[in-house]
Amino acid sequence: MAADHATRSCSARLQASMERRSLSLWLVLGLCLVLSGALLSPSVARAGKAFDVENSTGLELLNYLEHPDWRFRLDATHEAGHRKLIQAADKLVVLAGHDENARVRKAALKALGAVGSSWWLPTAERVAEDDSEATNRKAALDVIEREGAARSAPMLGRILLGDDDSGVRRKAVMILRNTGWPGAEDALCKVIERGDAPELRQVAVEALVPLARKDHRALLHRTMLQDSDKKIRLTVVRELAGSPQSEDLPPLLEALGDPYSHVARHAARALVALGDRSAAPILREKALEVRDRKVASEFNEAAAKLGG
DSSP string, 147-160: H--GGGHHHHHHHH
pLDDT on residue 98: 98
Angle between helices 185-193 and 198-208 in degrees, nearest 10: 140
pLDDT on residue 35: 40
The pTM for the full model equals: 0.80
Domains of the chain: 55-148 (1.25.10.10), 151-211 (1.25.10), 224-308 (1.25.10.10)
Q: What is the pLDDT along the chain (308 residues), one digit of tens a residue?
A: 444 544 455 455 545 454 554 445 444 444 443 344 444 444 444 446 778 988 999 999 999 999 999 999 999 999 999 999 999 999 999 999 999 999 999 999 999 999 999 999 999 999 999 999 999 999 999 999 999 999 999 999 999 999 999 999 999 999 999 999 999 999 999 999 987 789 999 999 999 999 988 889 999 999 999 999 999 999 999 999 999 999 999 999 999 999 999 999 999 999 999 999 999 999 999 999 999 999 999 999 999 999 98
Quick one: which of 227, 161, 231 has its CA closest to 190?
Answer: 161
pLDDT on residue 186: 96
Quick one: which of 259, 257, 253, 307 has its CA closest to 282?
Answer: 253
CA–CA–CA angle 278, 279, 282 (5° rounding): 115
Q: Which residues contact 48 (CB under 8 A, 6 or more apart)?
A: none
pLDDT on residue 41: 43
pLDDT on residue 17: 53
